[in-house]
Structure 1
Amino acid sequence: TSAELATLNIGDPVFFSGHVMKSSDGTPEELTEAERLLAIEMSGWLEGRKIPAVYMSLACGADIIFAELVLEAGIPLNVTLPFTVGRFCDLSVAIGNGDDIATDWVARYFACLDQAATVTELWRHEVRKAEVDYHYLNTNRHLAGETIFAAAALMTRPRMLAVIHPQAAASKAGAKNTLAEFVARGFNADVIDAQLRRKDSPTDPRGADPFAPIVFAFARSQQDNAEIRRLLDETGFGIRALKDRRIAGHYMPSGFEEAHFTASRLA
């Protein structure tokens, strides 16, 4: 029986958030050694695990190192980028290259994209400089959501792996804050030491947040309309009827925490 149950266990989908390695973060020797140690730690974490899918971005450093290991293991890699492939390369990949750095992060980035199961660009329009950090924050939340939905569809649990330096500053759009949000939702996560410390970044994104959450609710059937209308009226939803006469509504809360609370209560 235990053998049959083990066969049925497909494992947990994984959300990965890494640690950027810029060419200015250390000497070529220090960067090479940091990459070697990270690869060993990540390989050890992957060994023996059943993982149906990995959801992540693809910045230079820990992201690309982990993506290469995932692809080598035959695990489907699902990449989500905040901007277009080219813009993300300029902002988050090419910064790792340098004249005296042996590795070519840009070439490795495109090699991973070529082998990925899916590649999603969340925003293909112009991005104002003051809003860039918020696009990274939004991408982290999007990836966490993808992993949670995948786990729900597979009737398993989502898991996160984060590469973080223990003494690194906690920026709002960084891996440390993303990890805290994921764990606060009640999900499991593991942490690997980044080994090489980056220069501290601001604790909060610069500029104004261009994103706003909206909660949508739908009646499962016409028989539920009366009860759903009562609930949506109490919460302040805008209500309309769909073509099949089911009740639907939308509500714009003050922030993501209120959005999550409202959706959970209605569910």
Structure 2
Amino acid sequence: MEDEEAQKNARSSWSLVRPFQMISISLLSLLVPLSFLFLSRLSLSSSSAPVTVSGLFSFFHQADVGVLYTILSLIIVSTLIHHLSGKPECSVFHSHLHICWIVLFIVQACVAFGIEGSMSTTMSTNPDKGFSLASQERWVLVRVMFFLGLHEVMLMWFRVVVKPVVDDTVFGVYVEERWSERAVVAVTFGLMWWWRLRDEVESLVVIAEVKRNLLIRLESFDFVNWCMYYTCVVIGIVKIIKGFTYFVNMFILTTMKSRKGSEHCVVVVDDDHV
């Protein structure tokens, strides 16, 4: 009886803090699309207007951007490898919470410092007409694949870093992933995409392509932006192929089961009526 009451109390306490856990997951998962948004604005502003910053601030700014590029690249490559290998979800970092805490803190600090630094400088976030036209001419299917790929990258960030930290903070233990958590992350990402990303994130790749067409020397960050964008596109393509293969296999298995069931049916003929 005491064990049952303890379990009931634990469930009731978990139900009370569940909304806080969902809100924390949705907000911290947004760090990945916010990082893409910041880097796209940085790329656009650096190509359209000069940046006037002090020497010390420039050093910290470059270090901040470099660290953010490194972490995002690792997450994107890990997502691509995970989808290509087809291995189980790598949400076992709850046994290495110190790593999750450090990575989460670094990304949050980099995004906050980058956004504050971009607001305190004379960088312009108004795109040129050439960049806008080039972005509008991009193939819609590429945008869809990038949307799916970025969503998978965000899910990887949620499973590997965000969820272990939030679960340990709220519940004290790691809780298995639920569909409700995936739904909250997907809805949050969809709102973020509709609000800002769909209009601004294209500058990650458009600026590099425009510079190449105009024979302007590409910087290292332009090439990294181009690679990150199209890696997300590849992740989206792999996601579509795996989903199509899954449904084809399900259809084949269902057809085979129905055929086997029809073969096992025996028709009995009554000789008296013949």
- TM interval, shorter chain, is under 0.3
TM-score (norm 2): 0.25
TM-score (norm 1): 0.26
Which of the pair has the greater relative contact order for Cα pairs under 8 Å at 6+ separation?
2
- Structure number with higher helix proportion: 2
- Structure number with higher strand proportion: 1
Structure with max Cα Rg: 2
